[in-house]
Amino acid sequence: MRKIIQNFIRYTEAVSKAVGRFSQYIVFPMMGILLFESISRTLFNRPHIWVVETSQFLMAAYYLLGGAYSMILDGHVRMDLLYGRLSKKRQGVADTITGPFMIFYLIFLLIGGISSIDYAIRYGQKNYTPWAPPLAPIKIIMAIGILLMLLQAVVFFIKDIDKARGKESS
């Protein structure tokens, strides 16, 4: 059983790292699109209706797909009044208590995301703007990012249980 859990941890973190490293590069096309629009609008007086939404979608993909990787890097903002003073074992106990709340929250986000994808595909949902792009692709990316964060939260919960027991997991 322990081998299955270790494989789950290893594969989940590998996928989270790969997707997170990929998502880091989404900033560059977004910057290119915004630079293109700046030049087009300033020099040629030719604004485009698709630029703002495209860059918003790219930014959303950037932070949603990078969420699990940010968890691995411990890059999320955390309020740390007492936590940092605790021993590793007590930090594990605290994380074991709070971890299920995050998992519960992410499960409901994922359920809502899947429901939103279903609606967007079933009714051909488009954004209410002049360009009116379909919303299904960004909603799919949203659900993937939430799923990765949920899986990573489960990995952290498993590691926190080990930490609370005084063991260090791989």
Banded model confidence at residue 169, pLDDT cuts 50, 70, 90: low
Phi, psi of 126 (to 5 degrees): -125, 160
Residue 169 is classified by DSSP as -
Provide the whole-model pTM.
Answer: 0.89
Q: Is 104 exposed, middle or buried (0-12, 13-18, 19+ CB in 10 A)?
A: exposed
Banded model confidence at residue 83, pLDDT cuts 50, 70, 90: confident
pLDDT of residue 123: 97
Banded model confidence at residue 66, pLDDT cuts 50, 70, 90: very high
